[in-house]
Amino acid sequence: MNTTLCQAVRDAHEWKPEEKNAMRRLFEHALKVWPNLVHCLRETQGQLVHNAEQSGYKDWRSIAEFDLELVRLTGSNLYDEALVLTADKLIAAIKQYWPDCPLPSYQRLIKERSERPTGSSTPAAGQVQAP
């Protein structure tokens, strides 16, 4: 198939402008409070898609549904919960499709995620509100 994750998700769901804007707001928030999560997503995405395709993965619709859950959380101002879900999903995907991932951003993500067990994307702090 040789596609990108964005193409696969776009093909699985016709995105409305407000959904796209919610995802943009979520990633803007992530860049402020958990920038390594965004960096790790960007660095691993291509290899994860390739490895998943090689193993026969075809359930791109489930990824679109996950993204729509992030949109729902963002719409409810639950940005930090959305980020924790994103981190958990990314870590699980890497463990499944790229278990020997050598990237420093992934190792840092594992450490950062262990410091955020409560769902807050800011260690030892209260809920961070999005702009």
| 58 falls within a domain | yes
Is the pLDDT confidence value at 131 over 90? Answer: no
pLDDT for residue 105: 98
| 41 falls within a domain | yes
pLDDT for residue 51: 94
| 121 falls within a domain | no
Which range of residues forms the domain containing residue 30?
5-114
| 74 falls within a domain | yes
pLDDT for residue 126: 37
pLDDT band at 6 (very low <50, low <70, confident <90, very high): low
User: What is the chain's percent helix, strand, coil content, to nearest 5?
Assistant: 70, 0, 30
Is the pLDDT confidence value at 2 over 60? Answer: no
| 75 falls within a domain | yes
pLDDT for residue 3: 56
| 16 falls within a domain | yes
CB atoms within 10 A of CB 107: 12
State which amino acid sits at residue 104.
P
**Considering its fold, how many domains does the chain have in total?**
1
pLDDT for residue 5: 60
Neighbour-count burial for 108-128, b at 16+ CB within 10 Å, e otherwise: ebeebbeebeeebbeeeeeee
| 91 falls within a domain | yes
pLDDT for residue 121: 41
SS3 60: helix
- For the stretch 89-122, pLDDT in tens is 999 999 999 999 999 999 999 999 999 865 544 4
| 95 falls within a domain | yes
- For the stretch 26-84, pLDDT in tens is 999 999 999 999 999 999 998 998 999 899 988 878 888 999 999 999 999 999 999 99
pLDDT for residue 64: 84
